Each structure stands twice: as structure tokens, then as C-alpha cells.
Chain A
């Protein structure tokens, strides 16, 4: 029974990681850059919820998604677009700089102390000895919905297929008449909206927020994206869920719990050694 609860908790946490990992992996697949400011967009989403919560929880969620999308798109326009075509290292450093900028800005505005953001009081579902919080179940259900919708979007809509085309071969896609800039902007918008949702569900799980709120989940989700194979959408989902389940199982074993984070990153190393492209990553044949 306890194991089932742990598993459900793990799946729910994994769902949050997967949502963040999708942002990393889509941006990497299409813009070929690692957006290290992605984790901090979660934090911005969380603070937006805090600010608008006084009005109405639903309004605050919508505001968070809108805010994150605008932020994600403007970061891309201001910080990354001018560097397109320059060395990958320059873009990477810019992304890290952006991450620190957002964290420091939040520190100036909201202070460093953690703030409580209670979106709603949740009860818990009881099935015999099984007791699972409603928040956990909602997160799990939402994560599944998001993943299914995203898959359908990418596979069956014109824009989704254009995204795949850009990720596979940018130049060929441009020749086919695809507006690359529009696709990249859209990718950042979708990734940021997912980050806002991840922020929302994290807050339902643990209702406190601080400026470094997005840092560790961001890094873990990035790990998840790499485990799954960076650039691969199903890979990010798989990696996120795997990481969430491992984290919850490790935390539930008293002797193992202190080493949880170490174990998560050890898994990353092992997978990269065995399968350098990640679990679902495609092998690219290098032309010589």
C-alpha cells in the first residue's frame, strides 16, 4: 500500500519534472540552445500567482501563464535572437546570465524570505489504507493531459509538424516556406506556458515560493531531458517521470534518503555512459 502511494506521488512529481523538461527539450530541439533561464520562468510564474491570488485563483493562473509566455518570448527576442548564429558558448552564458538576472530581480521585488501561496485547500482521497492528496491526483491528471495534447499538437497540426521539420533540418524547412523565427518564438511560448503550469502544480504540492525556487527543479528537469534524450519530446516525458519516481522511492527509504540527489545524478551518468544520446535520443550520423 505504502509503495503504491509512493509511486503515485512519484508519478505526480515526475509529471511536474516532465512539464519543465519539455520546455528544455523543445527549445533545444528547435533553437539548438540550452535555455538555462527556463527554471526561473517557473519562479516568475509562482510569484505571478502570488500577486494575483488576492483577486481570484483562476485569474492568477491565467495571469501566470500569460506572464510566463510574454517573458519567455521577450527573453528570446532580447537576449537570444541577436546571438543566433554566434558560438553556442555565448548563447549558453547569456542564458545563465538571464537566469541570475531573473533571480536577483525577484529578490529585489519580493525579498529573499519564502512566501506562502495557498491556491486552495485540498483534501485527500481515501481508498481503504490508501490515502492520496487531491493536489497530487490533479497534478498527475493535468500532466497526462498536457503530454497527450502536446503530442497530438506536434504530430497532427500544421504548426506542430513545421516544428518537427525545423528541428530536423532548419535550412530545408526554410526552403519549404516555414517561417523559422515564428516557429522559434512559438516554441519559447509553449515552453514558458508549460513552465507556468509546472510552477502552479509545484505550488499546489508545496505552497511556498522564494527567488531560487526554480533553480533545483530546473536542473533536475534538465537532467530528465538529457536522460530521455535531449531534443526528443517523448524522451523528456519519460525522463521526467523516471526521475520523479526515483526521487520519491529514494526519499521513502530512510537509509537511502540522504543520497537522493546523488542517486538521481548517478543515474544520469550511467545512462549517458551506456547510451550517450539518452533513452529515446536519435542517433545522428555525422557526415565526414
Chain B
């Protein structure tokens, strides 16, 4: 009797195992009930990096609204489809990505903007690769983000930010004492630092001073001390610790020194309670977008953003501009694909969209005219294209947040 029961149990278990296998192996297209093409992003909508995520969400929504208006009007070259945008909050934490990703994917996301920041992005690209979801990230700048064929960046990759900064230093800061202030336990920071040092002239590298910190450190006195004689301090870090360093450095770091950062410093002039005008030094960063632009497509976009959102509480930054370009670039790529005879509609699966978009983005003759990058076209837009390995090609600009303040 017992034996029969055991056999029966085995059989039941085996059947259950097979059933689960079929269920999990079967490709579910969560998008089959969509009425619009769904574009999603995972980014920090709360927490220390929320300034980035909120700008991305707002700017992408502006692009979606514009595209939907064009599509609704119809006409030659339009797709005849509407778009919608969803953003999930990952608080700039890699551990939250499995939740945000599956919630996006299962809600029918077909095309993604990946993540807003690098650390969560490294998680996201793995999950997106498993399901073959297309990624065009506005601002996750890690070198490994476009590791797989389906991932592209709108921002400069970290290594490009480091080497582009070094090129600027080599041209402009010869004979100056250079310092580096970086975060030793963050890929973003150490990655930029490495390529910066690799591309820096030997004359500048000799006698370079370095100071670093780790997550949770909140006393920067010894770091300020180590860098106080520097003329130019390179800071490949995010704006919160940078602002803490600058506050600590008042009266200790030379007043005519220059703080020079990368995209992580974007938003440093919008921190609640931190008045950047009390920092005597110049604060600049390498950027692909000038949020103080007075001409060109960048200016038009800034006006649109400020008309739609409160520039005090939800300020625009280059992350937002990049997200705007991302949505438009995806739309333009879909139009190119349609012109090339590809077929898709609002219920097409993420994997199929990925095939279609990857082919367009890697083709040699796809150039997007955007608001990020240096304005070179007659209409004030830039030229943006992508290499086959997912890195962006466009010209950088240096953005001065605040010039040196001799009165202080």
C-alpha cells in the first residue's frame, strides 16, 4: 500500500515538474493587450539621486506627448500608433532592480530606457538581456552597460568621460597642480578616474594628488587637507558628496581653484539648503548638455520643460535632456524601420522590438538630431550616432555651473 502511494506521489510530482517547465519555458508576451507602445524606465524617484530620476521621467513624458500629438495628427511617415511611458522607482539601488524590472516587464513594457544610474543599470542589463528587451539608457554611463547587443547609451560612457576630461585638462590646465577626489567603492567613480589618468599627459600626472572616500563617510577634513594646494580638482563623483567637500573646503582649498566634475555633478546647484554661490571656487563639469543654453534646440527644449514643470522643485538637468533625446531617437528609429518595411504594432513583443531597433541603431546611416551634444546643425541640433557596441558618438561641451567668485 505504502509503495503504491509512493509511486503515485512520484508520478504526480513528475507531472507537476513538467507542467511548471512548460509554464516557465513558454514565452509570455505581456504586451499582447497593449493599446499603446509602452516605454519604461527604472530610476531614482526618491532618495539622494532623485533629481536625476524625476528629470528623466518628466522630460521623457514631454517627448511622449509631442510624439503622440504628431501621431494623432497623422500624415506621411507617421506610424499610426500612440506611445505611453512608465517610470519605476529604484532609489539608485541595484537591489531594487529585480522588482522594478519585473514590474515594468509584466506590465507590458516593450522598449526600455534602461536605468537612470549605473549601479542599478548593471543589474537591469542582465535581466533585459535574458528577455531581450531593448535598452537605450539616457544616463547610466558605466562602460559595461552596453555589454550586450540590445543595449545603447545616450550619455558618454564612463571611460569616455574620463578620457574626454583628460583631453580638456591636457589642453587647458598645463602647469597646474591637479588633484582627484573620488569614491573608492563606486564603479562610476573609479572607472572615470582610471581612464582619466590613462589619458592624462605625463607632465600633469607627475605630482598629482589624490584623496578618496567610501559610502557612509561624512567627514572630509583629511581629504580637503590632502587636496588644498591643488589648482584644479577633478571630482568624478555624484553631487551630494561633492557639495559636502566644497562646503568643507571653504577657506582651506585655494579660492581660485577649479572643481571639475563629470555628469554626476549635474544638479549640484539645485540641492536643498546648499547655496553654491557661497563656494568661492569655479565649479564646472563635462557634459553633453548645457542647461543654461540660450540658443538652438537645447534652448527650445529648456523652455518647453520649464513651461511644463516647476524648475525649482523638479529642475531640468542633462539626464532629463538625454531622456528626451532617447524617446525621440526610439521614435525616429521606428520610423526608419517602418520605411525599411519592418512590421510591428502596439502589441509587438519586447524581443521583436529589440531586433527591429538594434538593427536601426547599429546601421551606419542612422544619425539622430538631438538636443544633447554640441549644436552643429542649422536648426541648432546635434548629430548623434551609435557604434556597434552601443556607445554614443557626439561632441561634448564643458558646462560652468558657477564661475570663480573673487569677491568671496
Report A-chain residues with C-beta under 8 Å of the C-beta of B217: 216, 260
CB atoms of B211 and A254 under 8 A apart? yes
Query: Residue on B with the closest CB to A50?
Result: B273
Q: B398 contacts the other chain (Cβ, under 8 Å)?
A: no
Most central of B218, B244, B252 by chain A CB within 10 Å: B218
CB atoms of A254 and B225 under 8 A apart? no
Report A-chain residues with C-beta under 8 Å of the C-beta of B185: 258
The CA of A2 and the CA of B225, in the complex, are separated in Å by 7
Q: B199 contacts the other chain (Cβ, under 8 Å)?
A: no
B272 in complex: contacting residue of A116, A202, A251, CB < 8 Å: A116
Report B-chain residues with C-beta under 8 Å of the C-beta of A177: none
The CA of A212 and the CA of B258, in the complex, are separated in Å by 31
Report B-chain residues with C-beta under 8 Å of the C-beta of A111: 46
Min CB–CB distance B177 → chain A (angstroms): 14
Q: B126 contacts the other chain (Cβ, under 8 Å)?
A: no
0/1 interface trace, chain A 1-44, chain B, CB 8 Å (1 if under) = 01001100110110000000000000000000000000000000
A248 in complex: contacting residue of B210, B221, B243, B274, CB < 8 Å: B221
Report B-chain residues with C-beta under 8 Å of the C-beta of A276: none
Interface of B is mostly: loop
Known: A124-B252, A131-B228, A133-B252. A208 touches B218 (CB 8 A): yes
The CA of A80 and the CA of B261, in the complex, are separated in Å by 48
Q: A112 contacts the other chain (Cβ, under 8 Å)?
A: yes
CB atoms of A210 and B48 under 8 A apart? yes
The CA of A117 and the CA of B214, in the complex, are separated in Å by 22
Query: Residue on B with the closest CB to A212?
Result: B216
Query: Residue on B with the closest CB to A203?
Result: B218
CB atoms of B214 and A258 under 8 A apart? yes
Min CB–CB distance A115 → chain B (angstroms): 6
The CA of A158 and the CA of B214, in the complex, are separated in Å by 45
Known: A206-B220, A208-B218. A118 touches B273 (CB 8 A): yes
0/1 interface trace, chain B 218-249, chain A, CB 8 Å (1 if under) = 11111101101000000000001001100110
Min CB–CB distance A86 → chain B (angstroms): 32
CB atoms of A254 and B210 under 8 A apart? yes
The CA of A123 and the CA of B216, in the complex, are separated in Å by 26
Query: Residue on B with the closest CB to A9?
Result: B221
Q: B393 contacts the other chain (Cβ, under 8 Å)?
A: no
B247 in complex: contacting residue of A123, A206, A248, CB < 8 Å: A206
Query: Residue on B with the closest CB to A12?
Result: B221
Min CB–CB distance B349 → chain A (angstroms): 36
Report A-chain residues with C-beta under 8 Å of the C-beta of B211: 251-252, 254, 257
Q: For the side of the interface on A, what is the size category?
A: 35 or more
CB atoms of A208 and B244 under 8 A apart? yes
The CA of A208 and the CA of B291, in the complex, are separated in Å by 26
The CA of A68 and the CA of B268, in the complex, are separated in Å by 32
Query: Residue on A with the closest CB to B226?
Result: A252
Query: Residue on A with the closest CB to B180?
Result: A254
The CA of A5 and the CA of B243, in the complex, are separated in Å by 22
CB atoms of A258 and B212 under 8 A apart? yes
Q: B91 contacts the other chain (Cβ, under 8 Å)?
A: yes
Q: B50 contacts the other chain (Cβ, under 8 Å)?
A: yes
A115 in complex: contacting residue of B50, B226, B272, CB < 8 Å: B272
Query: Residue on B with the closest CB to A220?
Result: B216
0/1 interface trace, chain B 188-213, chain A, CB 8 Å (1 if under) = 00000000000000000000011111
CB atoms of B222 and A6 under 8 A apart? yes
Query: Residue on B with the closest CB to A259?
Result: B184
Q: B251 contacts the other chain (Cβ, under 8 Å)?
A: yes
Query: Which B residues fall within an 8 A CB radius of A?
Result: 46-48, 50, 91, 184-185, 209-214, 216-223, 225-226, 228, 240, 243-244, 247-248, 250-252, 271-274, 278
A-B contact pairs, 23 of them (CB 8 A): A6-B225, A9-B219, A112-B47, A113-B50, A116-B274, A123-B251, A131-B251, A202-B219, A205-B218, A206-B220, A207-B247, A208-B240, A208-B243, A212-B216, A213-B218, A216-B218, A247-B219, A252-B226, A254-B210, A257-B184, A258-B185, A258-B212, A261-B214
Query: Which A residues fall within an 8 A CB radius of B?
Result: 2, 5-6, 9-10, 12-13, 111-118, 121, 123-124, 131, 133, 136, 202, 205-208, 210, 212-213, 215-217, 247-249, 251-252, 254, 257-258, 260-261
A-B contact sample (16 more), CB < 8 A, given A206-B247, A252-B222: A2-B226, A6-B225, A9-B221, A112-B47, A112-B91, A113-B47, A116-B243, A116-B274, A131-B228, A205-B219, A217-B218, A254-B209, A254-B212, A257-B211, A258-B184, A258-B214
